[in-house]
Structures are given as structure tokens and as C-alpha cells.
Amino acid sequence: MSTTSSVLGRHDWSARLLKRQYFIYYMFILVLAGFALFLNDTGFLSPSNFMNIIRQTAPITIMAVGLSFALAVGHIDLSIGSVVALSAIVGAILLQYVGMPLAVAGALLTGVLVGLINGLLIERLRVSSLLITLGTMGVITGITRQVSNLESIPVIDPMFRALFGNGEFLGIPGLLWWTIIFALIGYLVMNKLVFGRHLLAVGGSPDAARAMGIRIENVRIKALVVCSLCAAIAGLLYAGRLAGARYTLGEADLLTVIAAVAIGGASLFGGRVSIIGAVIGSWLMGMINNGLILSGFSTDEQMITRGLILITAVAIGAREARNG
């Protein structure tokens, strides 16, 4: 009987409402209300501004979905920011020689390759993903700078710019479509498919997953490939929207993406992620950026805010982990 009552006790509604997975919604509403109050004469609340936020945040959202896959198996991928630049540069350079489909394929292949290398290095060397991806981040950034000669590479192809940039389909901006598609796929894979189930099992209890016959090394490598592939797509979206690629793309995105995913309720230690949380988390980060710009704050202050949000999210997560 004592067990039953403790089970019920933990599911008491007040305890439920305070759970970390709901934190993102409170935070979102709070920030929204705050900015709405202080910025009511700047057009912050206008629908076009919100559409702008979602469009500008699309690459971050997609990276956040991708990073959720890595976090699900208990890995972190610090190389995503550098993959954004590499994929954009590769795509932009290829566009000068070949058609769009091949250029896109080349950029995506770059992402897959980086994910594969990350995964194989982590599994073969049995080193933490944090250190391996820190290393590959350096290598990739160096390669990107060298390949691009520190110059911007313009993207002229109108099809590419429409598809990945400012095009529209059925009256909905392309970047919103990308967001919707990736959020939906991410959610379905994580919650409805065998693959997602195995990702979470590997992250939640590698020993149990292995004992049940799951090939955990393969699952982890696949997760890193998905993560890197999402970063490569984010690179294409930047190249499309900005009509060009530059080695600085994605430079500041790593912190934003990690903060978005953490505040969205994912455990940075694996086994628990929320795709919806990650998407809303990325929008929260975008909204904060937008609000801070409209309030006249500088990029420095935006960066400070992102850092503080990450610390807050991690602190809440750690407290919940301790309290069970």
C-alpha cells in the first residue's frame, strides 16, 4: 500500500505542473508578456514580426531538432555550428559548377560525412562526444575558412534561393514549411517509430539496451548523422535566405541551439528529449533576440542573455535530476 500512495503522491497535479517539461511554456508566455508590455509601440506584437521571428529562427529550429537526436542517445554535438558554414560553402561553391540538385546533395553529403566521422571516432576511440566534436569543430572551421578563402560566395540560382530562402508555397513562407516538416518528422520519429524508441533506450540505459540486443554503437552513430545532417540543412537555409555563404555562418548558433534544447526540457545527459520543447525553445530564443534588438540592446547583450538562459535551463534540469 505504501508504494501505491507514493506513486500517487508523485503524480499530484501541483507537482506535475512544476515539472521541467512545462517550464518552456511558462517561460515562453512570460517572455512574450514581458516584451509585449515594454515594446507595445514597436510592432513586436504584430503578426508579421512573429512570422519574421519564425523565419529567421528556422535554421536554429532545425538544428535543435537534430541536436535532440544526439542528446537522446546521450551525446552532445559541438560541431553543428561549423557544419552549418561548411555545408553552406560547399553548396554555394558547387552551385557554380553543377545544378541545384547535385549542389544540395553535395552539401547534405558533407553533413552526413561529418556525422559519420564524429560517430565512428566516438565509438572506436571510446572518447566522450564532447571532446571529439570539439575537435571536429576546430577541424571543420579551419577547412571552411581555407576552402572559402575567407570570402563570401554568392548564391545566384533563383530556384535555390526560392527553395531554401524567401520562397512561398500555398501562401506559407518556405522557411515555415521547413520548420513544420522537420518538427513533424522529428516528433514522429522520436515518439512513434522504433528508431526513436531505440535512441531513447540507448540514452536512458545503455546497459539495458545492449542486454536486449540493441546494437547501441550503431544507434549512436545514426543519431550523430541525423544531427549533422540537420545542421547541413540549416546551412542551406542560411545560404538561401542570405543569397550567399560565408565561413562565419552558424558561428554563434551552437550556444543558441544548446540553450533552446535545454530550456525545451531535454536532458543533456541523454534519454530524455522533447522535440516540441526544442522547437518552442528555439522560438523563445528567437523571440528574445528579436525583443532585445527592438529594445535597442547590442549583440553582446544578446549573447549574455543566451548564456544566462542556458545556465538557467541546466540549473533547473540538475535540480530535477537530484530530486528525482
Partner 1 sequence: MVRNALSQTILEVKGITKRFGGVEALRGVSFKVNKGEVVGLLGDNGAGKSTLVRCISGIHPPDEGDILIADKPVRFNSPMDARNAGVETVFQDLAIVPEFDVVQNLYLNREIRSSNPLLRWIGWLDTKAMTKRSQKSLNRLNSRIPSLSEKIINLSGGQRQAVAIARAVSWGAEVVIMDEPTAALGVEQSAQVNELIKLISSQGVAVVLISHNMQHVMDTCDRAVVLYQGRCSADVAIADVDKNDLVSLITGASGLQLAESA
Contact range with partner 1 by CB under 8 A, out of 27-35, 95-103, 198-206, 227-235: 198-206
Q: Which long-range contacts (CB under 8 A, 24 or more apart) does 97-100 make?
A: 100/157, 100/159, 100/160, 100/163
What is the size of the binding site for partner 1 (CB under 8 A)?
25
Residue 10, interface with partner 1 (CB under 8 A)? yes
Report the nearest approach of partner 1 to the CB of residue 204 (Å): 4
Report the nearest approach of partner 1 to the CB of residue 141 (Å): 35
Q: Are 225 and 119 in contact (CB under 8 A)?
A: yes
Please pick, from the candidates 135, 154, 167, 204, the single residue that binds partner 1 as defined by CB under 8 A: 204
Residue 208, interface with partner 1 (CB under 8 A)? yes
Q: Rank residues 183 and 236 by Cβ distance to partner 1 and give the closer one.
A: 183
Q: Rank residues 98 and 192 by Cβ distance to partner 1 and give the closer one.
A: 192
End-to-end CA distance of the chain: 21
Interatomic CA distance for residues 136 and 114, integer angstroms: 8
- The grid cell for 300 is 553582446
Q: Are 129 and 122 in contact (CB under 8 A)?
A: yes
- The grid cell for 70 is 544526439
Report the nearest approach of partner 1 to the CB of residue 262 (Å): 17
Residue 7, interface with partner 1 (CB under 8 A)? yes
Q: Rank residues 143 and 214 by Cβ distance to partner 1 and give the closer one.
A: 214
Report the nearest approach of partner 1 to the CB of residue 193 (Å): 4
Residues of this chain, 175-194, that bind partner 1 according to CB under 8 A: 192-194
Place of cell 561529418: 114
Q: Rank residues 38 and 319 by Cβ distance to partner 1 and give the closer one.
A: 319
Residue 17, interface with partner 1 (CB under 8 A)? no
Name residues whose C-beta falls within 8 Å of residue 80's C-beta, 6 or more positions apart in sequence. 63, 66, 67, 227, 228, 230, 231, 234, 250, 253, 254, 257
Report the nearest approach of partner 1 to the CB of residue 1 (Å): 10
Residue 205, interface with partner 1 (CB under 8 A)? yes
Please pick, from the candidates 28, 177, 195, 297, the single residue that binds partner 1 as defined by CB under 8 A: 195
Contact range with partner 1 by CB under 8 A, out of 4-12, 54-62, 105-113, 168-176: 4-12
Residue 91, interface with partner 1 (CB under 8 A)? no
Residues of this chain, 268-287, that bind partner 1 according to CB under 8 A: 271-272
β-partners of residue 153 are 245
Report the nearest approach of partner 1 to the CB of residue 218 (Å): 12
Which one, of 240, 270, 262, 267, lies nearest residue 64 by Cα?
Answer: 262
Name residues whose C-beta falls within 8 Å of residue 199's C-beta, 6 or more positions apart in sequence. 69, 72, 73, 190, 219, 223
Residue 323, interface with partner 1 (CB under 8 A)? no
Q: Which long-range contacts (CB under 8 A, 24 or more apart) does 184-192 make?
A: 185/65, 186/65, 186/68, 186/69, 186/275, 186/278, 187/275, 187/276, 190/68, 190/69, 190/72, 190/273, 190/275, 191/275
Cα-based distances in Å from 289 to 20, 32, 37: 23, 12, 16
Report the nearest approach of partner 1 to the CB of residue 236 (Å): 24
Residue ranges that bind partner 1, judged by CB under 8 A: 3-4, 7, 10-11, 192-195, 197-198, 200-201, 204-205, 207-209, 211-214, 271-272, 324
